[in-house]
């Protein structure tokens, strides 16, 4: 220290904030030795300016003496260390523990020639506010840049268990000057409490009406983004006044005026956005989800919920631009879910029809939308619903007014056609119940009918009758088992009615020839020139007469059925009737074992995949034994739903399409009018079909 020149003493004065006295010290030729030897009177004489600045002079003298005492302590430590190094040349480094002026935090310094390292530790317990400054990354970068530019030293900043560790590296003189400047920086902080009724009205209003600490982080973030280094708190938790700590150091200064200006210009508070009078569960769920997604660093969405009540209040605090945008979004959400009353204009016939037939249906609609508080008062010709459900509820009511239904008339015949007299009779029956027949459709298909079995024997049932029943059942040409939504059906050669399958499964060359598919084709899906869909899967093992072992047979059956099921799902997803061609299957040796394995594997696949398939098997006269084996395998798997036996028959169906007698006329005019009841004013929404232009002018005044 005694080797300092007058110029170096001037640099030291600048580092501790005494730039005004550099010239005076230089004129007095005060070097390092003279500086350490200054008396109190000499200090007063050097730092005195004028009698008008007496108060300022006293503060400067006190601060200078404090810095000088620290400099003397450093000089004493250096001298002591130097003497120890002379006595013990092997010692290259030394450590000294001192207490810095940063709120009595511990400072450790290490000297390794030619660089010098000093570590400052700022603890949370004694410097809580100072630590908060380091939460702002911009402040950390600014501090590092300032130290490097001013003193040529590097500074690393680490956060560790409620303390900040600053490591300064450079020449010894520069590091010590930088360390002193950091101490001065944190001693230059000022505190402002916004509690003045005359100038802080806006901040005081926030303090009294916002009971959430979320606003502190929002203000802090806005100030950080405005590049003002501040720390914000409340004088008391929740309801206290806002308090800010800021620097007055010239390189980090943030004036009270600039801080207040940002508070007034950039921050807005919207208290209690208007909510719907009737809050639905759907609205509460949506507003909660919106609040979660709307969170931003510069915006606080403050909500207040009440236990056991469907009530919620929402306030916004943050940057004005964000508050304005989010407020508009919440208002749109509120408008969407505001429940209003809507009048229904209908004819007397429509009103009577709805009241007589659909009261329960209206209750079902209300139950479907119970989370939206939908209420349909059809007797009063009105309903209550949120804005976004108006068209949906209106459509439901229109569908009931213009409702159509289909009657099914079935007969066990190959085909059915109605005569003109029969059609006239149907029309008259429909008119009797205020309906009209729009069209009549007919179709015929083969269906399987079950024959039940008696669970107990009675005295009136003779043995001969039982034998006749068994003989009849054994003569039937079909056997069926149900598997969930699917079925497996086996037909004998005596079955003469066409099955009209959707897909045909071919497994042998004979089957391929029948379907006119060349045998050289690979396995896969094919469409024939006749419009038939065919799945080809060669199964050469079936042509062998030797019997396979049980394990190998099961493997072959499982593989074959798996390939077929995947092909149907991929190539024919809409297929329901799948017919298996059984050509040459009778050549398989163990027919009983084959039938059992095949039916069991089919049942397992249907239970696993749950399709809607009818799997059809047709056997010819040469395959009677194989057909019987399939029959017996299916009997063992039949359920009560399948009955004792089944028979197939053609079932012809006639489908008259019925609608209310006025519905066609109403559709020509427009089904329903919905009016919105609000403040004694009505806005009518009228369903108007495409009309000629001259007719449209006639309706224009009543529509919107």
Mean per-residue pLDDT over the chain, rounded: 77
Torsion (CA) 618, 620, 624, 626 in degrees, nearest 10:
-50
Q: Provide the CATH number for the domain around residue 171.
A: 3.30.1370
For the cut 80, the answer to whether the pLDDT of residue 167 exceeds it is yes
Q: How far apart, in Å, are the Cα atoms of 473 and each of 182, 407, 457, 469, 492?
A: 105, 33, 18, 6, 13
* The pLDDT value given to residue 319: 94
d(Cα 15, Cα 9) in Å, to the nearest integer? 10
| 622 and 525 within one domain | yes
Q: Establish if 61 belongs to a structural domain.
A: yes
| Residues 479, 513 within the same domain | yes
Q: Are 683 and 609 contained in the same domain?
A: no
Worst-scoring range by mean pLDDT, 230-234, 494-498, 557-561? 494-498
- What backbone torsions phi and psi does residue 133 show, to the nearest 5 degrees? -60, -35
Question: How many CA within 13 A on the CB side of residue 566?
Answer: 9
Instruction: Using pLDDT thresholds of 50, 70 and 90, give the confidence band for residue 691.
Output: very low
Phi first, then psi: what are they for 475, rounded to 5°?
A: -85, -5
pLDDT digits 0-9 by tens, 272-311: 888 888 888 888 889 889 988 988 899 999 888 776 667 7
Domain encompassing residue 506: 474-640
Asked whether residue 293 is assigned to any structural domain, the reply reads: no
What does the angle CA 310 – CA 314 – CA 320 come to, to the nearest 5 degrees? 165
Query: b/e string for 278-308 if b means 16 or more Cβ within 10 A?
Result: ebbebbbeebeeebeebeeebbbbbeeeeee
200-239 residue pLDDT tens: 999 999 988 888 888 999 999 999 999 899 999 888 876 7
Give the separation between CA 587 and CA 508, rounded to whole angstroms: 12
Residue 124 pLDDT: 72
pLDDT attached to residue 473: 66
pLDDT tens track for 41-78:
888 888 876 555 677 778 888 888 888 888 787 777 76
- The pLDDT, as a whole number, for residue 311 is 79
Q: What is the share, in percent, of the chain residues with pLDDT greater than 70?
A: 77
User: Within a domain: residue 317?
Assistant: no
CB within 8 Å of 659: residues ≥ 6 apart:
402, 403, 404, 405, 435, 436, 438
Residue 446 falls within a domain, yes or no? no
pLDDT over 70 at 508, yes or no: yes
- My answer on whether 541 and 569 are in the same domain is yes
The answer to the question of residue 381 being in a domain is yes
pLDDT tens sequence across 392-436: 998 888 888 776 777 777 776 666 677 888 888 888 888 877 677
Q: Who has greater pLDDT, 59 or 465?
A: 59
Give the residue from 91, 123, 156 where a domain finishes. Answer: 91
Higher per-residue confidence, 9 vs 378: 378
- Give the end of a domain, one of 231, 266, 301: 266
Residues 175 and 31 placed together within one structural domain of the fold: no
Same domain, 20 and 145: no
> Does any domain span residue 586?
yes
pLDDT of the residue at 107 = 40
What is the arithmetic mean of pLDDT over 436-456?
70
- Strands 673-678 and 681-686, bridge-based pairing: antiparallel
End-to-end C-alpha distance for the chain, whole angstroms:
92
For residues 131 and 182, membership in a common domain is answered with yes
Average pLDDT over residues 535-563: 72
Q: Please indicate, yes or no, if residue 72 is contained in any of the structural domains.
A: yes
* Same domain, residue pair 156 and 243: no
**371 lies in the same domain as 496:** no
Tell me if residue 98 falls in helix, strand or coil: strand
Does the global pTM surpass 0.85? no
pLDDT in tens, 230-283: 999 888 876 789 999 999 888 888 888 999 999 999 999 998 888 888 888 888
CA–CA separation, 485 and 93 (whole Å): 88
Q: What share of the chain is helix, strand, coil (3-state, %, to 5)?
A: 45, 25, 30
Cα 466 from chain centre: 66
497 in any annotated domain: yes
Q: Is 112's pLDDT higher than 50?
A: no
Q: Do 503 and 537 reside in the same domain of the chain?
A: yes
What's the CATH number where 47 sits? 1.10.150.50
Contacts of 356 (CB under 8 A, 6+ apart): none
Task: Using CA atoms of 584, 588, 593, 596 in order, give the dihedral in degrees to the nearest 10.
Answer: -10
Give the total number of structural domains in the chain: 5
Q: Is the pLDDT confidence value at 91 over 90? A: no
Q: Do 602 and 680 belong together in one domain? A: no
- How does residue 526 score in pLDDT terms, banded at 50, 70 and 90? confident
CATH number of the domain that residue 553 is part of: 3.40.220.10
Q: Which residue has the tokens 């009261």?
A: 359
Note the pLDDT of residue 667: 43
Q: Which of 91-105, 483-497, 637-651 has the highest mean pLDDT?
A: 483-497
How far lies 450's CA from each of 417, 607, 658, in Å? 27, 22, 31
Phi, psi angles (nearest 5°) of residue 29: 55, 45
Contacts of residue 259, defined as CB under 8 A and 6 or more positions apart, other chains included, come to 192, 223, 228, 230, 244, 246
Of 41, 57, 91, the last residue of a domain is 91
Helix 201-209 to helix 256-266 angle (10° resolution) is 60
Is pLDDT at 698 greater than 50 in this prediction? Answer: no
613 and 505 in one domain? yes
Question: What per-residue confidence (pLDDT) applies to 533?
Answer: 86
Model confidence at 683, in pLDDT bands (50, 70, 90)? very low
């Amino acid at each position: 220290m005694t080797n300092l020149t007058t110029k170096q003493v001037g640099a030291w004065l600048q580092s501790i904030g005494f730039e005004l006295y550099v010239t005076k010290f230089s004129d007095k030729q005060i070097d390092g030795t003279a500086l350490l030897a200054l008396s109190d009177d000499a200090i007063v004489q050097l730092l005195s300016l004028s009698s008008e600045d007496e108060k300022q002079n006293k503060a400067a003298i006190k601060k200078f003496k404090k810095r000088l005492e620290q400099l003397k302590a450093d000089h004493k430590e250096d001298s002591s260390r130097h003497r120890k190094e002379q006595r013990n040349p092997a010692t290259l480094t030394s450590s000294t523990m001192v207490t810095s002026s940063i709120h009595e935090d511990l400072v450790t310094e290490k000297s390794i020639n030619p660089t010098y390292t000093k570590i400052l530790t700022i603890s949370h317990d004694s410097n809580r506010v100072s630590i908060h400054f380091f939460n702002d990354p911009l402040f950390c970068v600014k501090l590092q840049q300032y130290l490097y530019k001013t003193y040529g030293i590097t500074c690393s900043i680490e956060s560790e268990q409620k303390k900040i560790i600053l490591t300064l590296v450079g020449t010894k003189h520069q590091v010590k000057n930088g360390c002193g400047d950091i101490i001065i920086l944190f001693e230059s902080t000022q505190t402002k409490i916004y509690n003045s009724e005359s100038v802080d009205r806006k901040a005081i209003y926030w303090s009294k009406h916002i009971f959430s600490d979320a606003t502190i982080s929002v203000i802090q973030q806005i100030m950080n983004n405005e590049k003002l280094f501040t720390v914000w708190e409340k004088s008391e938790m929740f309801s206290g006044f806002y308090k800010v700590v800021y620097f007055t150091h010239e390189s980090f200064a943030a004036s009270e005026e600039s801080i207040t200006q940002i508070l007034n210009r950039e921050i807005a508070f919207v208290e209690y956005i208007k909510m719907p009078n009737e809050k639905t569960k759907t609205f509460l769920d949506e507003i909660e989800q919106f609040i979660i997604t709307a969170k931003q660093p510069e915006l606080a969405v403050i909500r207040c919920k009440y236990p056991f009540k469907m009530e919620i209040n929402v306030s916004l605090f943050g940057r004005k631009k964000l508050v304005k945008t989010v407020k508009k979004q919440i208002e749109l959400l509120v408008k969407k879910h505001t429940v209003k009353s809507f009048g229904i204009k209908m004819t007397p016939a429509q009103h009577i029809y709805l009241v007589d037939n659909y009261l329960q249906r209206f209750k079902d609609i209300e139950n479907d939308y119970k989370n939206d508080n939908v209420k349909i008062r059809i007797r009063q010709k009105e309903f209550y619903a949120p804005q976004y459900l108006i068209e949906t509820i209106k459509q439901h009511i229109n569908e009931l007014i213009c409702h159509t239904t289909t009657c099914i008339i079935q007969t066990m015949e190959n085909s059915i056609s109605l005569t003109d007299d029969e059609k006239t009779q149907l029309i008259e029956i429909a008119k009797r119940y205020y309906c009209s027949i729009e069209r009549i459709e007919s179709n015929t298909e083969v269906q399987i009918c079950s024959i039940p079995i008696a669970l107990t024997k009675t005295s009136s049932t003779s043995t001969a009758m039982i034998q006749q029943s068994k003989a009849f059942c054994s003569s039937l040409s079909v056997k069926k088992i149900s598997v969930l939504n699917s079925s497996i059906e086996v037909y004998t050669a005596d079955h003469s009615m066409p099955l009209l399958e959707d897909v045909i499964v071919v497994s042998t060359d004979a089957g391929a020839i029948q379907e006119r598919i060349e045998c050289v084709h690979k396995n896969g899906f094919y469409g024939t020139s006749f419009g038939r869909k065919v799945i080809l899967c060669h199964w050469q093992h079936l042509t062998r007469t030797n019997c396979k072992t049980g394990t190998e047979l099961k493997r072959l059956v499982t593989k074959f059925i798996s390939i077929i099921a995947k092909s149907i799902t991929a190539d024919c997803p809409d297929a329901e009737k799948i017919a298996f061609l059984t050509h040459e299957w009778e050549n398989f040796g163990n027919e009983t074992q084959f039938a059992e394995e095949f039916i069991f594997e089919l049942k397992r696949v249907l239970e696993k995949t749950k399709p809607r398939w009818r799997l059809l098997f047709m056997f010819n006269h040469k395959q009677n034994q194989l057909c019987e084996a399939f029959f017996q395998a299916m009997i063992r798997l039949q359920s009560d739903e399948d009955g004792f036996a089944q028979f197939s028959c053609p079932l012809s169906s006639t489908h008259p399409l019925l609608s209310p007698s006025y519905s066609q006329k109403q559709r020509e005019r427009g089904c329903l009018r919905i009016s919105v009841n609000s403040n004694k004013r009505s806005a009518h929404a009228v369903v108007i079909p495409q009309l000629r232009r001259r007719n449209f002018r006639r309706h224009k005044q009543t529509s919107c």
